[in-house]
Structure 1
Amino acid sequence: MLDANTLAFIWAVLIATAVFIYVCLDGFDLGIGILFPVLPHKEDRDVAVNSVAPVWDGNETWLVLGGVGLFPVFPLAYATILPALYMPLLLMLLALVFRGVSFEMRFRAANEVQQLWWDRAFSWGSYVAAFTQGIALGAFVQGIEVRDRAYAGGWWDWLTPFSVLTGLALVTGYGVLGACWLVWKTEGPLHDRARSQARSMGIALLLFILAVSLCMPFLQPAFRERWLSFPNMLFAAPVPILVLVLAWGFFRALERADQHGLWADAKPFVLVLGLFLVSYAGLGVSMWPWIVPPSISIWDAAAPPSTQLFLLAGTAVLLPIILGYTAYVYWLFRGKVRADAGYH
């Protein structure tokens, strides 16, 4: 029988994993919208949208699992985080709805002028959704004021220079994911344009990672203890080293991604996912075991063990189905996309 602490740990890993999968999967199709302003030709935008059309709505399944799973499993965290982040989360959800409507309506536009406006709506929704996700992340990481097990901060506490920085960083990161997806899934001039965008936005992403990393130790005393004290810095050192290795591999792979096959074109996408994973791990190193930094741990916020165990049994059934369906869809639409013939 699993004890309460083990169950809380398992659920923390599951929710963190679901959030990361969402960032990876929905990140690249949000990135497609972020890249729309640099895709001036209608044909290129059509190909870009068609490259994510089979998978984009399924990608958001993981947001539901990560966000809704917080409510029954860590109710205290849910009741504290939600009031602190009402505004950015509400704007994010509205932007995702707006973006979803425009995604479908662009295919039903009566003429090119209408489609252009739906394209703009799709892009605006992508920017707002990505930026507010980044703001919510920054506000969460910098700490939430808690008193008597309830949110005690103000309405605008989520809006700080650091949260704006993380918002811009996530927009850039999603843009890199979207560009690398197009490198992988397209051919010809669109492939070349995406490769150029991935290179320039990749440099900007590394600068944002550096800026966020330099700010982190000054947000909480616990963060400084994890990263700047001995011997903790020895255990944390693999994170920046891996970032440098993956960045070197990413730019090298971009140089070689010249339509020489699916694997060569897929490598930049895989490596930028590695950058996201290492950055995410860095956040985990900083914040563990706080689910509401700096005052509520995963064990403080956990629901009764019977509730966690009941939900875990259901998740054990549903999670393999979701993973299998997701893998099958990506395998089914694994080729490149052409303007005249769809996938091949």
Structure 2
Amino acid sequence: MDLTVIWAFIIAFAVFAYVVMDGFDLGIGIIFPAFEVGDARDQAMNSIAPVWDGNETWLVLGGGGLLAAFPLAYAIILPATYPLIIIMLLGLVFRGVAFEFRWRDPDHRAFWDFAFTAGSFAAAFSQGMILGALLQGVEVADRAYAGSWFDWFTPYTLLTGMGTVAGYALLGATWLIWKTEHGAQDMAYRLAKPAAVVTLALMAAVSLYTPFLDSQYWTRWFEMPNILFAAQVPLLVLILTYFLFRGLHKKQEAAPFLISLGLFFLGMAGLGISMFPYIVPDQITIWDAAVPESSQIFMLVGVAITVPLILVYTGWAYWVFRGKVGTEGYH
């Protein structure tokens, strides 16, 4: 049993859990201006009020776990993406402040609504660009970042940033389909289809662009016998795409959101196919970056205790607030 591989999956799980749980509430912020001022916006906000701050627990686990288990990767990736990380954190801060103050400062609610949307967009776009910056490659010399301050700014990272924004908007729209009613739900249905089209188009563009970034990506996706396994990912994307649009056409409520999560899972699987076993593509493997085995065992004990607790309280929160949300709250 390779503890380094286990830790790589723990970090991947934390990242995916963050994308799943914080993605839809960032998405709600992105599509928020499309909703009418008043009951529709209040329903959208109330649908995430009980869970939005707890969702970001997984971001802390992912970042903290990367520092603890793979400090070399942490020391390379952060300097390579400092501006994007600063933008992401500022976006999350402004978004959180706006979430609280729009209720407590109704005289300036329009400003706080704008801050909520701008913070959500900034956080989502920067997260996508961080992923793109990592995939396109990071310049490393003597086990340290050797690039410049703006190496992350390329057409590819802009593409991955836009793809993340569109994907989160799709998650936000399908979540509101599931959790809201009347006018807010009708608007969510209208937004979900174009969000799905744009998300899938950008997923296709990123998928076609990525193999040309590095010969190893091309090998993993298009050469035998890898292609036999890798080809299942786009095939499953096509299947889920059919069921997503079918669900939206038939006015299903829960299915579109769950299918959208499936699309994100397949995107994560594609990322794993492209990168593994590198944590900094073509430079640093997970074994190069890992702490000693004794440290991994010590931290694994803590994770084995805390992660189940996080899952239990998160599951309980979602179960308690499992109903529809109206203008006065959940019912």
Q: TM-score range by the shorter chain?
A: over 0.9
Q: Deviations over 1:239-259 (max 9, x none)?
A: 0000000010101111222xx
Deviation of residue 41 (structure 1)? 2.3
Deviation of residue 145 (structure 1)? 0.9
Identity of aligned residues (%): 56
Q: Does 1:277 align with 2:277?
A: no
Alignment partner, residue 343 of structure 1: 330
Deviation of residue 110 (structure 1)? 3.9
Alignment partner, residue 260 of structure 1: none
- Tell me if the contact between 2:41 and 2:184 (Cα under 8 Å) persists in the aligned partners: no
Alignment partner, residue 203 of structure 2: 209
Choose the corresponding residue for 1:123, options 111, 117, 125: 117
Gaps of 5+ in 2: none
Choose the corresponding residue for 2:88, options 92, 112, 115: 92
Choose the corresponding residue for 2:248, options 251, 254, 267: 254
Distance in 2 separating the partners of 1:8 and 1:297 = 10
Alignment partner, residue 143 of structure 2: 149
Distance in 1 separating the partners of 2:224 and 2:295 = 40
SS in 1 for 2:149: coil
What is the TM-score normalised by the length of structure 2?
Answer: 0.99
Cα gap change, 1:205 to 1:297, in 2 (>3 Å): same
SS in 1 for 2:279: strand
Choose the corresponding residue for 2:278, options 260, 271, 290: 290
Matches within 5 A, 1:254-333: 254-257=248-251, 264-333=252-321
SS in 1 for 2:253: helix
Gaps of 5+ in 1: 258-263
Distance in 1 separating the partners of 2:49 and 2:83 = 29
What is the TM-score normalised by the length of structure 1?
Answer: 0.95
- Tell me if the contact between 2:72 and 2:290 (Cα under 8 Å) persists in the aligned partners: yes
Deviation of residue 50 (structure 1)? 0.4
SS in 2 for 1:291: strand
Deviation of residue 130 (structure 1)? 0.4
Distance in 2 separating the partners of 1:342 and 1:300 = 50
Q: Does 1:109 align with 2:97?
A: no
Q: Deviations over 1:274-323 (max 9, x none)?
A: 00000110110011100011110000100011111101001101011000
Deviation of residue 336 (structure 1)? 0.4
Q: Deviations over 1:141-175 (max 9, x none)?
A: 11111111111111100111000000000000000
SS in 1 for 2:322: coil
